[in-house]
Structure 1
Amino acid sequence: MRDLHHHYRLPRRRLLGPRPLLPVLHGVSLEIAAGRSLGVVGESGSGKSTLARLVMALETPASGSVQLLGRDLHRLPPAQLRSARRDFQMVFQDPYGSLDPRQSVERIVTEPLRALARPTRAELRERAAEVLAQVGLRAGDAGKYPHEFSGGQRQRIAIARALITRPRLIVADEPVSALDVSVQAQVLNLLAELQERHGVTYLLISHDLAVVSHLCDEVLVLQGGRVVERGAPRELFARPQHPYTQTLVAAVPRLVV
């Protein structure tokens, strides 16, 4: 990302008046090397999810650029952007709301593949079995529906869906916040294993410093749409320099014995 700015237009306050702007991001720049993980932390309203939507080219920035593998995603013609989506996928926060309850697991995980190409029925079945195995599920699970799985298993299905196109980048927006603590560890370990096996790059959006410390090589702290601090998680959380980062670290619950 290079000098990224973004805002939203609010409803008019007067019938014929202009729609006021709500600035969300102010000159955000970042870079992630292939096979590495960058965590973005900050409180609600800091701009984290907007950042994720801009990286996924779901929204267009007011100014600045988002480049992946040398391509400016927001300047690509629609057909080229559609093709480029093979290289970047997303894991959403809610494993209950992000999966269509009316569709089978096979249809859910192969949706990105069907949107990008015209694979045969046999190819879809083979790829679904492949990615389900990668996330620790069985090939027989392909015929089931989301309500037959636990929250952790549903998030594994969501991760399988993100893996189906063999992407270079996965954007994970609060991927474990809706899960129990014990299940969170399982999903984070799975993400780490997949990165080691396939070299996938992660942009992890989170408010949980422990989650970011577990998975990320570098952390970027966002406050009010501005980057206020960045660095390796162990160093940054042990010796935070910016007052806002110090507040975040101080708010982490600690066990008293």
Structure 2
Amino acid sequence: MSGGALLRAEGLSRRYTLPRARPWAAAPVVQALHDVSFTLAPGRSLGVVGESGSGKSTLARLVMALERPSAGRVWLEGQDLQQLSPAALRATRAKFQMVFQDPHGSLDPRRTVLQTVAEPLAVLHRASAAEQRERAAEALAEVGLGPADLQRYPHEFSGGQRQRIAIARALITRPRLIVADEPVSALDVSVQAQVLNLLQDLQQRHGLSYLFISHDLAVVDHVCHEVLVLHEGRVVEQGPTAEVFNAPQQAYTRRLIAAAGGGG
């Protein structure tokens, strides 16, 4: 484990075996990730960019230990996530949380904001009802919502507010790392800026690290210190965001920047 890294991935690969087209045929195999390595320091943001199908979301699932890699390892604060027992992994999950793309789809419409935001605390810490309510109110205040919102339901909020609720749910365990998978792509452009500014404010306030998955280079340019470019599951370029976007070394990166309108 390299000194100073909060998150380290080394040699990550992921293969998926697909259903057989015919009973006697060999099962096809898709290689979604090939030998991906990177480190992320405390309080920093790493953007992962690439076209659809480049392996971005697969990488997010491996980092979150939602899937096991076919090869390679992920360390969080020096702990090899693949070597943890189920109970130890569950306890460690307080340190890393995820924010998904679609706040409408990721929030259960039948549950109140209190139930939704407090759920990770209830599962991971077995906190009392009073503590859950207090911490949920604190998390909502962090994202600009109030205690009166605790008893409301997701459909009563705008898209931007729903994503703030999703961010509050991620914050409630006081994590060190948040994996954000396209967290603003479902929002209007004006609301995107508000949510991105909120994420930056939270990073400065709490020293959070972000692994930021996005197809939008302008978003990554706005919020990420470093960037990793994926193409067909392989890292084709990585480095400080300004350097990669202003002087890309690889043709694929130049094509992404041209498609985005000339850069971040």
TM-score, structure 2 as length reference: 0.95
Deviates more, 1:145-154 or 1:17-26: 17-26
Tell me the equivalent position of 1:215. 223
Tell me the equivalent position of 2:83. 75
* Paired AA for residue 223 in structure 1: H
Tell me the equivalent position of 2:4. none
TM superposition shift of 1:18: 3.2
Secondary structure in 1 matching 2:123: helix
Secondary structure in 2 matching 1:245: helix
Matched, 1:55 2:63: yes
TM superposition shift of 1:120: 1.1
Runs of 4+ in 1 over 3 A off after TM superposition: none
Structure 2: distance between partners of 1:47 and 1:123: 39
Counterpart pick for 2:130 among 108, 113, 122: 122
Secondary structure in 1 matching 2:186: coil
1:127-179 per-position Cα deviation (integer Å, ceiling 9, x unaligned): 01000000000111000000000000000000000000000100000000000
Structure 2: distance between partners of 1:7 and 1:35: 31
* Paired AA for residue 149 in structure 1: F
Give ranges in structure 2 of 5+ residues lacking alignment.
1-8
Counterpart pick for 2:251 among 228, 243, 247: 243
Q: Show the 5 A alignment for 1:131-150.
A: 131-150=139-158
* Paired AA for residue 207 in structure 2: G
* Paired AA for residue 29 in structure 1: S
Deviates more, 1:37-46 or 1:15-24: 15-24
Tell me the equivalent position of 2:161. 153
Q: Show the 5 A alignment for 1:1-257.
A: 1-253=9-261
Structure 1: distance between partners of 2:26 and 2:118: 44
Secondary structure in 2 matching 1:66: strand
* Paired AA for residue 119 in structure 1: A
Structure 1: distance between partners of 2:222 and 2:46: 11
% identical equivalent positions: 67
Secondary structure in 2 matching 1:31: strand
TM-score, structure 1 as length reference: 0.97
Structure 2: distance between partners of 1:149 and 1:82: 31
Size of the aligned set, in residue pairs, is: 255
Secondary structure in 1 matching 2:106: coil
Structure 1: distance between partners of 2:125 and 2:180: 24
Secondary structure in 2 matching 1:166: coil
TM superposition shift of 1:253: 3.1
Secondary structure in 1 matching 2:105: coil
Structure 1: distance between partners of 2:116 and 2:201: 22
TM superposition shift of 1:231: 1.6
RMSD: 1.1
Give ranges in structure 1 of 5+ residues lacking alignment.
none
* Paired AA for residue 70 in structure 1: G
